[in-house]
Amino acid sequence: GAVVSQHPSRVICKSGTSVKIECRSLDFQATTMFWYRQFPKQSLMLMATSNEGSKATYEQGVEKDKFLINHASLTLSTLTVTSAHPEDSSFYICSVRDWGSGELFFGEGSRLTVL
């Protein structure tokens, strides 16, 4: 069964609005979760590392004020795209690492379309 659950799977919003995406770790507690973004025909790019109880760590070039990450519990991380614009339209995927096996499990992804 699924190890990581993401919601919503698809969202369409108007330019200027904010959108929240949830990522839940179903099988184990995750002090760290990861947010990736994937544009069509491009590779997955790590956006940020979400740390439970502390600030997220953002990759170079990712605006922390635009992509707000909250990791309030050991099983839930949220990504909020603030004041979304059409160029933010993308496939956002979260992942969780099982530190025991080393495997990185991905959620089903969330397709964001900004009109």
Partner 1 sequence: EDQVTQSPEALRLQEGESSSLNCSYTVSGLRGLFWYRQDPGKGPEFLFTLYSAGEEKEKERLKATLTKKESFLHITAPKPEDSATYLCAVQAIGGATNKLIFGTGTLLAVQP
Q: Measured from the CB of residue 54, what is the shortest distance to partner 1 in angstroms?
A: 14
Interface with partner 1: number of residues (CB under 8 A): 25
Shortest Cβ distance from residue 94 to partner 1 (Å)?
8
The single residue among 49, 70, 82, 113 that binds partner 1, judged by CB under 8 A, is: 49
Min CB(83)–partner 1 separation in Å: 26
| Nearest alpha-carbon partner for 22 in 82, 56, 71 | 71
Rounded to 10 degrees, the C-alpha dihedral 110/52/100/96 comes to 10
Bridge partners (DSSP) listed for residue 36: 46, 93
| 44 scored as a contact of partner 1 (CB under 8 A) | yes
Span from 11-19, 34-42, 60-68, 73-81 in contact with partner 1 (CB under 8 A): 34-42
Per-residue tokens: 77:
């991380």
CA-to-CA dists, residue 20 to 28, 66, 101, 103, angstroms:
23, 12, 30, 26
27 binds partner 1 (CB under 8 A): no
Taking the least distance from each CB to partner 1, the nearer of 14 and 41 is: 41
Hey, is 77 helix, strand or coil?
strand
Question: Length of the chain in residues, anyone?
Answer: 115
Which residues sit at the interface with partner 1, rule CB under 8 A?
4, 6, 32, 34, 41-46, 49, 59, 91, 93, 95, 97, 102-109, 111
